[in-house]
Amino acid sequence: MNILRTSSEEEMISEFLMAEYHSERFSDRIKEIMNELSFNESIILSADLNSTNENFARKKLLGEFRGYGLDRELFERFPTEISWSLCNFVNGDLNKIRYIDYSYWNELSQGTKSPLKAAQTILNGTEIYEQSNAGFVKAAEFIKSGGKFPRTILLTSDFEHFVIVEGHLRITAFALAPECFDNIECFVGECRGDELKKWL
C-alpha cells in the first residue's frame, strides 16, 4: 500500500455518495432522500469540492441517508478526528482488510471478517441468511472483464490493518478475483486506535 496524496472529508463524502448513488441496493433510497431535501443529482454526479454550499449539502445528505455526523446507523460511534488520504493497494493488501462487525459479514467470513475467507464461502456455494451470492459473482466477473468500480473507503489506525467503511461488496468481489486487486485506489482515513475500536 502506498499513499498517493492527501484527501479530505469532503472528497470522501463525495465518493461515498457516488458509490451509493450507483448501487443497486441503495440507489432508490438515496434518490428519495435527495427529493425530500430538494437536492439536484448534480451535487453527486458533477461534484464541486470547492463549493462550500455543495459540501454542506453532501454532508447533510450523507447524514440523512446513513447517519453521518449524527452518531447513528453506520456512523454510530464513528471516529471524529480523521486524516484522509488517497492510497494505492496491491494484491497482498487484501490480507490486511476486514469487514465491519455485522452479522451477515461475520457469517459470510466464518467469523474472521476477512473478505478472502468470505470468498471461500461464496465459492463453496454457501448462502448466508438465504441471501443469494449472485451479486458478488457478477461483480467479480465485471472486474475480470476490465470494469471499474468507485473507490472503496477504509479506516485504519496504523496503515497495516484496514476496516471497510463503504465498499463491502466490491472488496468481496476483488477477493473472488484477487489477481485484479492491483494498483487499486482507495480512500483511507487514519484515526486513533481507541476511536477505531469504539466504532468496530
What pLDDT score was predicted for residue 200?
Answer: 81
Does residue 86 carry a pLDDT above 90? yes
Does residue 5 carry a pLDDT above 90? yes
For the chain, how many residues are written?
Answer: 200
Span 10-21, mean pLDDT? 96
What pLDDT score was predicted for residue 25?
Answer: 86
What pLDDT score was predicted for residue 24?
Answer: 85
Kindly write down the DSSP assignment for every residue of the chain, as one continuous string.
-EEEEE--HHHHHHHHHHHHHT-TTTHHHHHHHHHHHT--THHHHT--TT-HHHHHHHHHHHHHHH-TTTT-GGGTT--S--EEEEEEE-GGGGGGEE--S-HHHHHHTTTS--HHHHHHHHHTT--GGG--SHHHHHHHHHHHTT---PPEEEEESSSSSEEEEE-HHHHHHHHHSGGG-SSEEEEEEE--HHHHHHH-
pLDDT one-digit tens code per residue, 154-173:
999 999 999 999 999 999 99
pLDDT one-digit tens code per residue, 29-81:
999 999 999 999 999 999 999 999 999 999 999 999 999 999 999 999 999 99
What pLDDT score was predicted for residue 28?
Answer: 95
The set of cell numbers assigned to 18 is 457516488
How many angstroms separate the Cα of 105 from the Cα of each of 47, 60, 69, 72? 31, 28, 24, 19
Arithmetic mean of pLDDT over the chain: 96
Place 182 in a pLDDT band, splitting at 50, 70 and 90: very high
